Structure 1
């Protein structure tokens, strides 16, 4: 028969195994949440950087030096390339009509839209606050609208369409950028999310 000492030793061993098992089960979850948080921050920062490039293209398209529809279409296509990346069906970087010069791609090829979608998934995995996730949802809505209007601007049949949709692109890009000095995820969008995640914006 097992003595008292043996019972005590057996219980201690069982307890140790339980603690070890819980540690093995729990630690990957903690690491996963931390990894997701880091991934979310990286994706938010890259989305911000690409967004600023797209805003720059929109500003050039709509500046006082605007020379005509070919000029606007070229910069709108560049904005599309930055927003959608090289895998987007809208991607085009050559010098063909109706573009007045080689379009190229000022972005990194991944696309602001893709970075923002990746940030949203990572924020969910990291259990980010509801407000932060809401801010990114609003940012994605605005950015998707910017892409749609940029497409319409590039393929517009006249000056009014080309220029009118370009104006909308600029407005939706600014809305995507959002305000960093607000407590509202609706108006703060990307800037709000970055601030809540401890990141800073250059604009």
Structure 2
């Protein structure tokens, strides 16, 4: 399994001023780790879900002015892209590590996906207490699943169904100070355990 460990230096990348300077640091410090995680966990998803998954490390290629505020590796069963599909992600903001299952606005069947999740909402409600949900992959903010269970979970799923830019992310956020304390083995264990909880949700999303 992965020998990757996150460091303060990795998170600091997202505080460096200037597009070129931040991209240089990102390419040197962080992206090689995403490539390694991508190799390891694409094999994990392929074995667990019975179809080949491919890793997609964020390139941030379209940026010409604003430096990226986060970065990630995504996993989907399509070699040429992932944004139009439900996908898994491991990534960093400067404040935290995220390990999530995501449906973002490019997905063409969001309404069907949302209806499936609404019909199986108890599956979401039974996820571990430290899980989070979010309706915006461009924001580092999220709410605890415990909080969302009151009425906000329904609202997020209805927005996913009815609003063109509606999104839904579920998984774990691990604060930077906690993430850098994890050994390589502990990190791999946390990632795998998080994805293990998310696999049944993924199967509902894709109609299995």
Larger helix fraction of residues: 1
Larger strand fraction of residues: 2
Q: TM-score, normalised by structure 2?
A: 0.31
